[in-house]
């Protein structure tokens, strides 16, 4: 498990208090919900790969996501960005 720390300045804190009853709870919920959506996207893509390969599908979403990354079916945003930058034509000087 990984912990993240979010630092808000005074203005940001006040603004968040305007929209959220509990700022920490709101931030936690937002991160967990976005992760849930990403997990569902990865699972959907990975299931297609398992079916194409005629392989059985692991029994849990955690296992499906881990396998998708292990097999290179899914890459991190940083990895995808690095690939895009490597494939961009160099600027003419």
Cβ pair 49, 67 in contact under 8 A: no
**Each residue of 14-65: pLDDT tens digit?**
999 999 999 999 999 999 999 999 999 999 999 999 999 999 999 999 999 9
pLDDT at residue 91 is higher than 80:
no
Q: How confident is the model at residue 92 (pLDDT cuts 50, 70, 90)?
A: low
Integer CA distances (angstroms), 50 to 37, 41, 55, 72, 74, in order: 20, 14, 5, 13, 13
This prediction has a pTM of: 0.84
Task: Return the pLDDT at 19.
Answer: 97
Six token digits for residue 16: 């968040």
Six token digits for residue 73: 């079916």
CA nearest to 37, candidates 25, 45, 49: 45
Question: Taking the domains of the chain in order of start, what are their residue ranges?
Answer: 10-87
């Amino acid at each position: 498990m990984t912990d993240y720390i979010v630092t808000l300045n005074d203005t940001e804190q006040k603004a968040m208090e305007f929209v959220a009853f509990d700022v920490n709870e709101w931030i936690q919920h937002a991160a967990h919900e976005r992760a849930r959506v990403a997990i569902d996207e990865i699972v959907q893509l990975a299931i297609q790969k398992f079916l194409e390969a005629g392989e059985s599908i692991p029994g849990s979403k955690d296992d499906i996501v881990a396998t998708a990354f292990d097999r290179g079916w899914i890459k991190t945003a940083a990895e995808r960005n690095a690939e895009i930058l490597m494939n961009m034509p160099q600027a003419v000087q």
